[in-house]
């Protein structure tokens, strides 16, 4: 009784540990079975080309026959056809991947020479090597630079059949040592397959994995750390590459005062790759720009569109706050808008919102250019975020949806803050937001390998993270355009 109820608990703990590292990632790239199959297809093309480099050495020997000792020599062997038609890739939980190739065949043409008694004869031959099977174990890991690695953990191969067909005068002689020929060629090929597989991995796959940019510089202030948090966990149906996904300040990196939430990626795997982008990525961006003092904006009258009637001067504002005009007749004003804390994104199914707390300090610009404080407003704003993927970049756009405002302090006597609603809403949505959106429209790069492009992108906000699903296209041919919007 006891053991039967404990076992499932232990199992689920084991599964959980396998799928999640010690530190929650800020960004997860999940390769599904479909994604692995696509990678396998691409890889098999390369592997087939590499294996076709198998070197078939000349070989000689002798055999005893009814007509005495026969000496033979085989040379000029060339691969005419090489096919690896069937292959499969499957995740091996906790280890890596298993690649199984079966039904491979090679056709080889060559020449033979035979000397027996005083006869010397020669001819051509055609060799069919059939039923080649190769089993390759791949261990996935991470290196000290935080990039993914893949290494051969085991490799074995088997050839089920070698058929030789000889032509030329006295070709029956070859039948006498057919067995030696079969064995010699089988061994020569079998001995070379695994070293060639290993070579393909180090010369083709590893350099590709090294193209992951573990640091993506965004501007002069910040970069994103896309290094792996550890070896990618492999489960029965996917490989999760877990990345730090954290903004940091280039000039001096300080750990953010919060940590990433656990991401529960859905088990729907109808696309090749899924990206789970934690709110942590966006919130570390907010933290970095806030700490670097970049979330402060000034508004002056010349920045306000000409057709808007409430100008940033004491005559115009004096209509709303008469004592301002009395104290400072006909002077220009300036607003300093600053975020009072690091803004954070709220991601939940159906909605992405950001609710920054901001202060607006209004100044009067005195004739000698110094600033006289007029009043200080504190605001809680809510903006809806729209997110899209464009050429491998996450881009965004904010739309102001709600502004709540209080008067925190006044140097010009009390007034009702409601009268400033129109002006403040206008300044925020027409002057500040366009500046912010210009930055968000440039976007953040997704961690992709060179020449990997995304198609069929779908976007879904989930609890605490954004989920992007996509198919992969490897190559340079696809055009990058707006792909999808949420």
Ligand X SMILES: *[C@@H]1O[C@H](CO)[C@@H](O)[C@H](O)[C@H]1NC(C)=O
Least CB distance to ligand X at residue 405 (A):
6
Least CB distance to ligand X at residue 377 (A):
8
* Number of chain residues interacting with ligand X (CB under 6 A): 25
Least CB distance to ligand X at residue 4 (A):
42
CB 22, CB 230: distance < 8 Å: yes
By beta-carbon proximity to ligand X, the closer residue of 46 and 331 is 331
Q: Is the Cα torsion angle 461, 467, 472, 475 positive or negative in sign?
A: positive
Distance CA 452, CA 470 (A): 11
Provide the greatest CA pair distance for the chain.
Answer: 128
Distance CA 217, CA 224 (A): 6
Does residue 15 belong to the site contacting ligand X (CB under 6 A)?
no
- Which of 167, 203, 341, 351 lies at the binding interface for ligand X (CB under 6 A)? 351
Q: Which residue bears the tokens 């076709």?
A: 52
Does residue 133 belong to the site contacting ligand X (CB under 6 A)?
no
Does residue 480 belong to the site contacting ligand X (CB under 6 A)?
no
By beta-carbon proximity to ligand X, the closer residue of 116 and 335 is 335
Does residue 313 belong to the site contacting ligand X (CB under 6 A)?
yes
Least CB distance to ligand X at residue 370 (A):
4
By beta-carbon proximity to ligand X, the closer residue of 15 and 366 is 366
Q: For ligand X, which stretch binds (CB under 6 A), given 91-99, 201-209, 240-248, 378-386?
A: 378-386
Q: For ligand X, which stretch binds (CB under 6 A), given 48-56, 227-235, 241-249, 293-301?
A: 293-301
- Which of 42, 180, 323, 380 lies at the binding interface for ligand X (CB under 6 A)? 380
Q: For ligand X, which stretch binds (CB under 6 A), given 185-193, 200-208, 261-269, 310-318?
A: 310-318
Does residue 475 belong to the site contacting ligand X (CB under 6 A)?
no
CB 177, CB 61: distance < 8 Å: yes
Does residue 257 belong to the site contacting ligand X (CB under 6 A)?
no
Sheet holding 27-32, edge to edge: 234-235, 238-243, 27-32, 273-278, 465-474, 452-462
By beta-carbon proximity to ligand X, the closer residue of 406 and 450 is 406
- On the 0-12 / 13-18 / 19+ scale of CB atoms within 10 A, 469 is buried
Per residue in 244-271, is it b (16+ CB within 10 Å) or e — as a string?
bbbbbbeeeeeebeeebeebebeeebeb
CB 247, CB 211: distance < 8 Å: no
**Interface map 388-427 toward ligand X (x if CB under 6 A):** -------------x--xxx-x-------------------
Least CB distance to ligand X at residue 386 (A):
12
Does residue 68 belong to the site contacting ligand X (CB under 6 A)?
no
By beta-carbon proximity to ligand X, the closer residue of 242 and 313 is 313
Least CB distance to ligand X at residue 447 (A):
24
- Cβ-based neighbours of 391, under 8 Å, separated by 6 or more: 453, 480, 481, 483
Distance CA 147, CA 158 (A): 33
Does residue 439 belong to the site contacting ligand X (CB under 6 A)?
no
Q: For ligand X, which stretch binds (CB under 6 A), given 19-27, 158-166, 201-209, 307-315?
A: 307-315
In this structure, what token pair is assigned to residue 394?
A: 């996450």
Does residue 157 belong to the site contacting ligand X (CB under 6 A)?
no
Characterize the bridge pairing of strands 238-243 and 452-462: unpaired
Distance CA 364, CA 412 (A): 11
- Which of 296, 418, 419, 439 lies at the binding interface for ligand X (CB under 6 A)? 296
- On the 0-12 / 13-18 / 19+ scale of CB atoms within 10 A, 112 is buried
| Contact residues for ligand X, defined by CB under 6 A | 296-298, 311, 313, 315-316, 330, 332, 350-351, 357, 366, 368, 370, 378-380, 384, 401, 404-406, 408, 479
């Amino acid at each position: 009784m006891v053991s039967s109820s404990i076992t499932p608990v232990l199992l689920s703990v084991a599964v959980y540990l396998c799928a999640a590292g010690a530190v929650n990632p800020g960004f997860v790239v999940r390769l599904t079975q479909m994604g692995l199959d696509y990678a396998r297809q691409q890889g098999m093309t390369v592997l087939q080309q590499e294996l076709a480099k198998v070197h078939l050495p000349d070989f000689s020997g002798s055999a005893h026959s009814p007509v005495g000792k026969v000496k033979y020599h085989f040379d000029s062997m060339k691969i005419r056809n090489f096919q690896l038609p069937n292959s499969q890739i499957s995740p091996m939980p906790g280890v890596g991947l298993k690649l199984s190739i079966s039904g491979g065949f090679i056709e080889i043409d060559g020449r033979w020479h035979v000397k027996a008694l005083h006869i010397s004869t020669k001819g051509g031959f055609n060799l069919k090597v059939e039923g080649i099977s190769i089993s390759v174990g791949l261990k996935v890991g991470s290196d000290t630079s935080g990039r993914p690695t893949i290494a051969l953990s085991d490799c074995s191969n088997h050839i089920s059949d070698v058929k030789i067909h000889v032509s030329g005068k006295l070709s029956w002689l070859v039948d006498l040592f057919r067995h030696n020929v079969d064995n010699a060629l089988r061994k020569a090929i079998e001995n070379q397959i695994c070293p060639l597989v290993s070579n393909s991995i180090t010369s083709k796959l590893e350099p590709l994995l090294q193209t992951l940019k573990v640091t993506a510089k965004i501007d002069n202030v910040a970069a994103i750390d896309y290094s792996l948090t550890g070896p990618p966990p492999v489960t029965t149906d996917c490989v999760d590459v877990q990345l730090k996904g954290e903004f940091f300040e280039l000039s001096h990196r300080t750990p953010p005062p919060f940590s990433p939430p656990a991401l529960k990626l859905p088990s729907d795997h109808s696309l090749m790759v899924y990206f789970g982008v934690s709110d942590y990525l966006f919130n570390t961006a907010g933290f970095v720009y806030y700490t670097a003092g970049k979330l402060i904006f000034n508004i002056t009258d010349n920045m306000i569109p000409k057709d808007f009637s409430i100008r940033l001067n004491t005559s115009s504002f004096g209509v709303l706050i008469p004592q301002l005009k009395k104290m400072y007749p006909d002077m220009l004003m300036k607003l300093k808008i600053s975020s009072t804390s690091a803004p954070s994104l709220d991601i939940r199914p159906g909605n992405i919102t950001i609710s920054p707390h901001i202060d607006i300090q209004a100044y009067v610009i005195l004739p000698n250019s110094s600033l006289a404080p007029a009043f200080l407003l504190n605001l809680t704003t809510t903006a809806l975020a729209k997110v899209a993927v464009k050429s491998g970049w996450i881009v965004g756009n904010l739309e102001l949806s709600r502004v709540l405002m209080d008067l925190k302090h006044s140097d010009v006597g009390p007034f009702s803050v409601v009268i400033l609603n129109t002006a403040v809403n206008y300044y925020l949505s027409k002057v500040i937001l366009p500046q912010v959106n210009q930055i968000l429209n440039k976007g953040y790069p997704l961690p992709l390998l060179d020449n990997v492009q995304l198609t069929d992108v779908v976007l879904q906000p989930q609890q605490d993270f954004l989920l992007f699903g996509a198919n992969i296209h490897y190559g340079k041919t696809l055009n990058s355009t707006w792909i999808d919007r949420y």
